[in-house]
């Protein structure tokens, strides 16, 4: 069994880490470089950085922050938000990120996934899907920081993303984001069962049990969380010890 990964997520706006609920009520949390160092030292497996307003504001991503983080940590990290072209991907990877997460741009131009996977390798390209349940058992893809409904079926889009060359998919359930009531197990499992690439569950972690459930019952390969880590409600060493007690293989 491959080790399951624990991934803190840093939503960055104007150079600061922020957090909200269901993509609303954004509040300031911390300096991204300091927080990245803290998670690196605590035993996180990877980090994810999202520039949460870059796509909506149609501006370039925070490369200066990416470079500072790369100098301070030894674990892999991926960067997303405001990435629209092969040049953008190249700039982020050259700044020190191991992976690039594409969301809005991939929806608007699916060939970007294919081009990027060919040029940089599948392992570098993450398809990020922000999904919301629009009717019973149907999830649709939202873009521009959860502001715009594309009408696309999230599970079909995940399958297409894999076919185009994405090496991993982050499934972020807008309905559960920041609520701390648990991940959306139904959505996560539906996508995990539909593709053969790793799935990262996102949106809703509140207690340690939520991590073990999504990593087993929903077949996720990794669990991403933000506020429970940012505010010290769950420590990564404690979480990994708990998961080992549940017979879930983690990296130590």
DSSP for residue 3 = P
Q: Rounded to an integer, what distance in angstroms lies between the CA atom of residue 182 and that of residue 206?
A: 6
Q: How far is CA 7 from CA 85, 109, 153, 171, 222, in A?
A: 26, 27, 26, 13, 7
pLDDT-derived band at 118 (thresholds 50, 70, 90) equals very high
Query: Known catalytic residues?
Result: 11, 130
**Quick one: tokens of 214?**
């999504």
Q: Rounded to an integer, what distance in angstroms lies between the CA atom of residue 1 and that of residue 242?
A: 17
pTM for the model stands at: 0.92
pLDDT-derived band at 23 (thresholds 50, 70, 90) equals very low
- From the list 103, 100, 107, 105, the residue with the least C-alpha distance to 124 is 100
Q: State whether the Cα torsion 214-219-221-224 is positive or negative.
A: negative
DSSP for residue 136 = T
- pLDDT tens for residues 24-83? 556 666 889 999 999 999 999 999 998 876 656 666 668 888 999 999 999 999 999 889
pLDDT-derived band at 167 (thresholds 50, 70, 90) equals very high
- From the list 106, 99, 116, 114, the residue with the least C-alpha distance to 200 is 99
Q: Rounded to an integer, what distance in angstroms lies between the CA atom of residue 16 and that of residue 27?
A: 10
**Quick one: tokens of 68?**
């500072």
Q: What is the model's pLDDT at position 70?
A: 96
- pLDDT tens for residues 66-77? 999 999 999 999
Judged on CB neighbours under 10 Å (0-12, 13-18, 19+), 160 is middle
Q: Rounded to an integer, what distance in angstroms lies between the CA atom of residue 114 and that of residue 122?
A: 9
């Amino acid at each position: 069994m491959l080790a399951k990964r624990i991934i803190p997520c840093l939503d960055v706006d104007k150079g600061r880490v922020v957090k909200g609920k269901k993509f609303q009520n954004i509040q300031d949390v911390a300096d991204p470089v300091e927080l990245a160092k803290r998670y690196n030292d605590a035993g996180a497996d990877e980090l994810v950085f999202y520039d949460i307003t870059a796509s909506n504001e149609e501006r370039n991503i925070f490369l200066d922050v990416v470079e500072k983080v790369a100098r301070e940590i030894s674990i892999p990290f991926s960067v997303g938000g405001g990435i629209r072209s092969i040049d953008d991907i190249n700039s982020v990877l050259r700044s020190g990120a191991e992976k690039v997460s594409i969301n809005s741009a991939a929806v608007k131009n699916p060939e970007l996934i294919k081009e990027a996977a060919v040029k940089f390798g599948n392992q570098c390209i993450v398809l990020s899907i922000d999904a919301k349940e629009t009717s019973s058992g149907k999830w649709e893809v939202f873009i521009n920081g959860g502001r715009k409904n594309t009408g696309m079926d999230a599970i079909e889009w995940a399958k297409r993303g894999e076919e185009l060359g994405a090496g991993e998919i982050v499934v972020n359930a807008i309905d559960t984001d920041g609520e701390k009531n648990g991940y959306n197990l139904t959505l996560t499992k539906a996508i995990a069962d539909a593709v053969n690439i790793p799935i990262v569950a996102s949106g809703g972690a509140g207690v340690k049990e939520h991590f073990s459930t999504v990593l087993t019952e929903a077949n996720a390969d990794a669990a991403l969380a933000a506020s429970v880590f940012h505010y010290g409600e769950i420590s990564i060493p404690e979480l990994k010890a708990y998961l080992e007690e549940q017979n879930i293989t983690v990296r130590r």
